[in-house]
Each structure stands twice: as C-alpha cells, then as structure tokens.
C-alpha cells in the first residue's frame, strides 16, 4: 500500500486534519455512502473539480461536524432547526440547500472559494451526520482552526464509487494528497445491500425558493408554497420523508430539480 493511503484508525485521523490545513490540499475520506473528496480552500476546490472533471454550477456541499457549526454558517428558521435536530439525534445523514448567513459567509476564504462552493443563487448544501471518519475531520477543522470543509463524491462525475476505495478512479487517486481507506465501515451502513442496490448518496432537500431565499415557516397552515422539496433521493429516504411529514404540512418530491 502506498504511503498516502491510510487505514482509518476508528477515530480522528489527525493526518487528514494536518493535510487539509495546508494550502490547496485535497484528500479522500469515507462516509456512510462511499468515499468523498474533502478540501478547505479555493485552490483545493479547483483541484477537486479538475480531478472529477465536474461542472461548477451545482450547489456546493459544506460538511458540518456539529449543529453549532451549521447554525453559525447557514440561515435557518425554528422549523428547519428542529428538522435538523431530529436527524442529528437519530444519526441520519441529511443535507439541505440553505442560504448563507453574512457572518457565515465571512468564514469562507477570500480565494475564489465562494464561486466554487455555492450555486448561482448563493446557496450551498449543508450536510450533517455523514459518517464518523469524515465527521471527525470536519469537526476538528472547525473547532481547532475555524476552517470549513467542502466535499464532493470521490468518483468521476456521473459515476459512483460503489462504496469501495478501488472505485474512486485513477485520476482522483493520483490527485489526492491523502486517502483514508475504510471499505468495511462503508459496507456496515448498508450491510444487506450490494453494489447494484446500495445508495451512493445522501438525501438532499431544498429549503429555498427559486431565487435562493429561505422558505417561510409553516406553523399549522396547509398548502404552503414555497415549501421543502426533496431534490435528491438517497440513504434513509423513507425515514427522512416520514420526518418531513411530521415536521411540515406541505412538502414536495422533485428528484433531480437541482440540476
């Protein structure tokens, strides 16, 4: 095994933190739904897009190692906060498209990162409970250094990595500064599924309108528009949709609408 590939140690992989605090670094790390590319600045984001050969106009993914970090960065309301809290408590992977708080956006490096981790409306996908190996890294970067962690799936754009390190592709493998291997951890999340049936992504829900503004609180009202929209199916979809029904009287399902 080459030096840059490390077996996950079961906790915080300090080598990954040390790599990402360097300028322009890019690593590969495991999550509940497979491997991701993690970066922390504009140069690293540029390397990620180049390695993946991916379009730059989709919502960026921001990994939050705690709800406190989420609340520091993203604009939410009480209903959305409660929705996140439910999934945090139940350890369910969840990503929502949200606007940035002004003070949160001030945490983004002024190095071209904004153009590469937001969509054209100025929103990003803020993700929690994405899997212990990468959660520990994102939390440490935020708590110890005040650094954000940006992510994308570690595979050529449009294909999956099947939850195994061998699936990330030669281009990403060669481009990464550090790779953390944990195929068994990924497999343990969906133990009864195989490569043809397992989810390789998390559920994504839009909490903004067409212009990127936060949706209003619903209270006990019905037939509210705009409302939460499931824009990508993924791991624990049925649990998340059940929670949508508990939390909101109005919500919609439009898989693929974020493209």
In three-state secondary structure terms, 210 is coil
Mean pLDDT of 228-234: 97
- The answer to whether domain 5-253 has CATH 3.90.870.10 is yes
Mean pLDDT of 82-93: 98
Q: Contact at 8 Å (CB) between 141 and 40?
A: yes
Grade residue 1 by pLDDT with cuts at 50, 70 and 90: very low
Q: Where are the domains of the chain?
A: 5-253
- CA 218, 92, 89, 122 torsion: positive or negative? negative
Residue 153 contacts by C-beta under 8 Å, 6 or more apart in sequence?
34, 35, 36, 37, 160, 161, 200, 201
205-222 tens-digit pLDDT: 999 999 999 999 999 999
Q: Contact at 8 Å (CB) between 16 and 29?
A: yes
Share above pLDDT 70 across residues of the chain, in percent, rounded to a whole number: 95
20-52 tens-digit pLDDT: 999 999 999 999 999 999 999 999 998 888 887
């Amino acid at each position: 095994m080459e030096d840059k590939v490390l077996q996950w140690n079961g906790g915080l992989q300090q080598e990954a933190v040390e790599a990402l605090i360097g300028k322009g670094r890019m690593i590969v790390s495991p999550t509940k739904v497979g491997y991701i590319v993690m970066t922390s600045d504009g140069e690293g984001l540029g390397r990620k897009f180049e390695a993946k050969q991916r379009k730059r106009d989709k919502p960026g993914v921001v990994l939050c190692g705690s709800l406190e970090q989420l609340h520091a960065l993203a604009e939410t309301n009480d209903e959305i906060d409660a929705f996140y809290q439910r999934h945090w408590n139940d350890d369910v992977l969840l990503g929502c498209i949200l606007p940035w708080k002004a003070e949160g956006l001030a945490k983004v490096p002024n190095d071209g990162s904004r153009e590469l981790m937001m969509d054209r409306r100025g929103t990003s996908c803020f993700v929690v409970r994405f899997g212990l190996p990468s959660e520990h890294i994102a939390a440490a970067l935020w708590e110890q250094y005040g650094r954000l962690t940006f992510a994308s799936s570690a595979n050529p754009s449009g294909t999956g990595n099947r939850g195994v390190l061998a699936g990330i592709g030669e281009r990403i493998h060669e481009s990464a500064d550090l790779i953390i291997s944990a195929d068994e951890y990924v497999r343990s999340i969906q133990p009864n599924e195989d490569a043809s049936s397992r989810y390789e992504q998390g559920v994504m829900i839009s909490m903004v309108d067409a212009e990127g503004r936060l949706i209003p609180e619903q209270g006990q009202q019905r037939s509210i528009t705009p409302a939460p929209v499931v824009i990508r199916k993924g791991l624990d979809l049925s649990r998340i949709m059940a929670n949508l029904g508990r939390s909101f009287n109005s919500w919609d399902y439009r898989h693929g609408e974020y493209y």
